[in-house]
Amino acid sequence: MFDRIDIKIKAGDGGNGAVSFRREMYVPFGGPDGGNGGKGGDVIIKVDKSTDSLRAFSNNKLYKAENGFNGAGRQKYGKNGKDIILAVPPGTMIIAQEGDTEVLLADLNNIGEKILIAVGGKGGWGNVHFKSSTNQTPRLAQRGEKGEEKTLRLEMRLIADAGIIGYPNAGKSTLLAAASAAKPKVASYPFTTLEPILGVVNIGLDSFVLAEIPGLIEGAHLGKGLGHDFLRHAMRTRILIHLISGTSDTPTEDMIKVNNELALFDPSLAKKPQIVAVNKTDLPEVQEKLEIIKSELNGADIKAHYISAEMGQGVNELMAAAFEVLKKQAVTPKHTEAPGKIFRPQPRETGITVTREGDMWIIHAPGLDRLMAGGGATEGELRWQLNSQLEKRGINSILEKAGVKAGDKVRCGDLIWEWDKPGSKANRIGILGGTFDPVHLGHLMMAEEAKAALDLSEVLLIPAGQRMSRPNEDVTPAEHRLAMLKLAVEGKPYLKVSSVEIERKGPSYTSDTITAIKKKSGEDDLYFILGWDSLAQLPDWHEPSKIINLCTLVAVPRPGYAKPSLKALEGVLPGISQKVMYLDKPRIDISATEIREMAAQGESIEQLVPATVAQYIKKHKLYTASGG
């Protein structure tokens, strides 16, 4: 009989969150829109009336629920994984094996009763959840959480009103056959019955379920004979019919030994009501010593029934007596029943901890250790965005207290990096160059977007001196462009104007400007802000390799220009893919050339430039035939 079996179960893993950005016509401010992953399927065990054994689990020992599906763009959530429902018969106990200990998770007795035994993993967050005022283009998402795994032992214990116990060959099968319609195997040798058998006993219009518990011998509680396999079935019965063979040389001693085995296996078994019956009284050898048996039992204050199961003598009276005891049990409060369910859920996530393994620090943080990078993210972007998550949750402080030092390797989930205390030695300075002829709202929005997205301490606006890219182009005198820039940044202390290029004599190259700023700023981190069009042309600039070595490039959209391929640029400038960060905003279509043309025609430009700049242009008659 398949009444005890070990299996493994695995709930579904959660789906991964998506890293995606909105790309839609007529939506210039499309931001992150990666959806969450779906939840993994659960493992549920349910009592099914159509199942009478654990035989269905004998061939397959691993049961897995469906994984959740990954999220997608447009904030599309992944589909949840399907649950798996395992059908078990009534009377099934579910025991979890946790190391060397066993924990009872459930004791299922009623049809339709079910328990959630393993919880599917949560779906990972899409990058839309990582958007903040300082991180407008998050390129991080979460992996789905792993589903719970368990090793279980399923035990089916027959649910019967009364159980027949006794030594092997005491006639238990014969009694069950005589009292019910059950047809157990009957033979004249011990251990004829190898599995418990149920039968229904009819008492007038009433009935009860009678179970034959296969033979017990001395040492059964230690597993001798068929001990453990069948003693547990006796746990389910409400009363016991203790059958003694009249042919035994020591019938009273046999009864005492069986009762000792019950008590040693589980004390509650010995406390169950018992009806004693001496069997085989029709045999001549039993008739000869029947009075001696009665005298011994009476002397032990044991009231017994004397029956012949083979001949049917006394069977009806025995069953009627058993039914009367059962009726009394029905109205008596039960104090010895094992708890119906014992469920000890473990916390899915613990607090934040930091441990050291060799030369690497390992961060264990709920959710954070499931972070993953989206495609196209550069090392600089990932380090900055990951650090913002660490700082938000106080993990940097925990690392410092644990003794981490600059340059130490740190791992969180699959991400590994060298640690450096944020803000310990460097500011983050943005650099935005251009002719600024004139400075307009698009320039200011680029600077402010970069500051917010990268948490820059300041942004330097640097007007060009003698432009090498367009040497023949007429440019408004430097004093006017500087004056307009200073007016534009009034009230914005984080935006500063530098005249480093204008003051430089001769040709002005970006590499020279960044070198000069780096020399002055020392350990500060530099972020050079440029448009997608300029990034695509970078290989043609003067000393492009020097530029990418000195700073991180922050590429912002330019209307009418496609986002450059880092893979293509890498073929020309090795290492550039690790030094570029893409921003998806602002997407403002403002052209300095158009502003100059509108001003020349006397049209209003106040919606395109700061009001103070518009007034300056009008006052000095810039971009007009009579002006500069």
Residue 314, token pair as written in the block: 């006394």
Residue 253, pLDDT score: 85
- For range 283-296, the mean pLDDT: 90
Percent above pLDDT 70 for the chain: 82
Considering the domain architecture, whether residues 446 and 410 belong to the same structural domain is answered as no
Cβ partners under 8 Å of residue 379, min gap 6: 578
Tell which of 418, 437, 452 closes a domain.
Answer: 418
Considering the domain architecture, whether residues 234 and 125 belong to the same structural domain is answered as no
Residue 381, pLDDT score: 59
- At residue 243, the 3 state secondary structure works out as strand
- Higher confidence at residue 180 or residue 625? 180
* Helix or strand (DSSP H, E) at 206: strand 206-212
- Higher confidence at residue 448 or residue 455? 448
**CATH code of residue 103:** 2.70.210.12
Q: Number of structural domains, the chain? A: 4
Contact 145, 11 (CB under 8 A): no
Query: For residue 625, is it within any domain?
Result: no
**What DSSP string describes 417-457?**
EE---TTSS--EEEEEEE--TT--HHHHHHHHHHHHHHT-S
- For range 456-462, the mean pLDDT: 93
pLDDT(171) > 90: no
Query: For residue 628, is it within any domain?
Result: no
Query: For residue 73, is it within any domain?
Result: yes
Query: For residue 461, is it within any domain?
Result: yes
Cβ-based burial of 607 (10 A; exposed 0-12, middle 13-18, buried ≥19) = exposed
pTM of the model: 0.54
Tell which of 128, 156, 184 closes a domain.
Answer: 156
- CB burial string 242-254: b at 16+ within 10 A, e below: bbbbbebeebbeb
> Which residues is 353 bridged to in the sheet?
364
Residue 115, token pair as written in the block: 């328990």
Considering the domain architecture, whether residues 463 and 437 belong to the same structural domain is answered as yes
Residue 467, token pair as written in the block: 């432009």
Contact 227, 216 (CB under 8 A): yes
Residue 100, pLDDT score: 78
Query: How many other CB atoms are found less than 10 A from the CB of residue 347?
Result: 7
Phi then psi for residue 322, to 5 deg, are: -65, -40
Q: How confident is the model at residue 494 (pLDDT cuts 50, 70, 90)?
A: very high
Considering the domain architecture, whether residues 507 and 563 belong to the same structural domain is answered as yes
Considering the domain architecture, whether residues 379 and 503 belong to the same structural domain is answered as no
Q: How confident is the model at residue 628 (pLDDT cuts 50, 70, 90)?
A: low
Q: What is the pLDDT of residues 571-591, one digit of tens each?
A: 899 888 878 888 877 777 888
Cβ partners under 8 Å of residue 550, min gap 6: 511, 514, 515, 518, 526
pLDDT(161) > 70: yes
pLDDT(66) > 90: yes
- Across the chain, what does the average pLDDT equal? 81
pLDDT(27) > 70: no
Considering the domain architecture, whether residues 177 and 148 belong to the same structural domain is answered as no
Considering the domain architecture, whether residues 276 and 229 belong to the same structural domain is answered as yes
**Identity of residue 427:** N
**CATH code of residue 203:** 3.40.50.300
Contact 109, 159 (CB under 8 A): yes
Tell which of 362, 385, 418 closes a domain.
Answer: 418
Q: What 8-state DSSP symbol labels residue 369?
A: G
Residue 2, pLDDT score: 43
Q: How confident is the model at residue 423 (pLDDT cuts 50, 70, 90)?
A: low
Residue 375, pLDDT score: 58
**CATH code of residue 567:** 3.40.50.620
Numbers of helices and strands, H then E, in the chain: 17, 28
314 conformational bin, left if phi > 0, alpha if psi -120 to 50, beta if neither: left
Residue 132, pLDDT score: 65
Least confident range of 131-135, 282-286, 343-347, 417-421: 343-347
Distance from C-alpha of 136 to C-alpha of 451, rounded to nearest angstrom: 11
Query: For residue 341, is it within any domain?
Result: no
Residue 24, token pair as written in the block: 């839609």
Considering the domain architecture, whether residues 451 and 544 belong to the same structural domain is answered as yes
Q: How confident is the model at residue 238 (pLDDT cuts 50, 70, 90)?
A: confident
Any idea what the Cα angle at residue 550 is, between residues 547 and 554, rounded to 5°? Answer: 70
Distance from C-alpha of 514 to C-alpha of 529, rounded to nearest angstrom: 12
Q: What is the pLDDT of residues 312-339, one digit of tens each?
A: 999 999 999 999 998 887 655 444 444 4
Considering the domain architecture, whether residues 500 and 542 belong to the same structural domain is answered as yes
Contact 124, 19 (CB under 8 A): no
Query: For residue 340, is it within any domain?
Result: no
Considering the domain architecture, whether residues 582 and 446 belong to the same structural domain is answered as yes
Considering the domain architecture, whether residues 462 and 385 belong to the same structural domain is answered as no
Question: Which residues form the domain of 51?
Answer: 4-156
pLDDT(557) > 50: yes
Cis peptide before 574 (omega within 30 of 0): no
Considering the domain architecture, whether residues 463 and 401 belong to the same structural domain is answered as no
Q: How confident is the model at residue 193 (pLDDT cuts 50, 70, 90)?
A: very low
**CATH code of residue 412:** 3.30.300.350
